[in-house]
Structure 1
Amino acid sequence: MSLSPHTDASRGTRRAVMRWAFAAFYVAAGVAHLWVPEKLLLITPDWVPYPTQLIMLTGLFELAASTALVTRPLRWWAGVTLALYALCVWPANFKHALDGIEMPLIGNSWWYHGPRLALQPVIIWGSLYAAGVINWPWRQPNKANQP
């Protein structure tokens, strides 16, 4: 018996893999925020208040949310807050791209910026899906409406 993309087991495995991948990504981002905040100040929009303190707080948030994402009691909230966070940092990604700011390990190339800007909605969706907040596009088929 093969698992279709709609079975609970395949959905659970997919979500678990995504949770751990997102947690690892956000741990790395959190460490970067805490370790080299001066680099992230370069891409912080001018209208952001208290940018240094905010970068440090976002680093702590990323570490805490990563942990919460892989724990059952806080998972749903972690997904929602990580999705909102990804939306809030999108202006920094635009500033990075449009101002042509050189960053260590990332550089300044549209080979990075283009996909990065385009994939931000996918990061938002992935945070929500991995945490079980949404099921789209793999929602359970409605058996009542099937022939």
Structure 2
Amino acid sequence: MARPPSPLRTVARILLGAFLVAAGVAHLLIPDEFLAQVPPLLPAPDAIVLVSGLVEIALGAAVLLAPARRRAAVGLAVAALFVLVFPGNVAQYLTGTDAFGLDTDGARAVRLLFQPLLVLWALWACGSLPLRRRRTTAAPR
């Protein structure tokens, strides 16, 4: 039987879920801020912002509400989302587009450095990334 997650991991998971839901709602309420992250080569930026917001809301709800046995899969999905939006963050940096208070190249570059931490947060908080290996017992001889 699996041990319950630590209180720290539970808090991290709840914060992650709330962060995703809030970000998803923000996509719907202030889409212009999120348009800055859509790479210029992609078609239908308004639709991309809308769909990505709905995906964030759905994943945030899943992080908060999924039963324990499904959390690792949810964590993988959230980590994948963070990887998929990374090119948008790079595009914002390369185009020098201001959004979310990121009005300098330095601020936009620092944001890029935090994206891997978001991936790790999702994997750890949802139990998708075990920090230690399970012990295996040797068979008696």
TM-score, normalising length: structure 2: 0.81
- Give secondary structure in 2 for the equivalent of 1:81: helix
Deviation at 1:115, TM superposition (A): 2.5
Equivalent residue letter for 1:127:
A
Contact 1:23 1:67 in 2 (8 A): yes
Deviations 1:54-103 (A, max 9, x none): 21111111111111102233423321111111001101111112221112
Amino acid at match of 1:72: A
Q: Which letter does structure 1 place at the counterpart of 2:7?
A: T
Read off the aligned partner of 1:93 and give its amino acid letter.
N
TM-score by length of 1: 0.78
Unaligned runs of 5+ in 2: none
How large is the RMSD of aligned CA atoms in angstroms? 2.2
The alignment of Structure 1 onto Structure 2 pairs a total of residues equal to 134
The one-letter amino acid paired with 2:115 is Q
Q: Structure 1: how far apart are the matches of 2:72 and 2:136?
A: 26
| Cross-structure match for 1:24 | 18
Which residue of 69, 78, 81 corresponds with 1:82?
78
The answer to whether the 8 A contact 2:96-2:105 is kept is no
Are 1:97 and 1:108, in contact at CA under 8 Å, matched by a contact in 2?
no
CA distance in 2, matches of 1:111, 1:36: 24
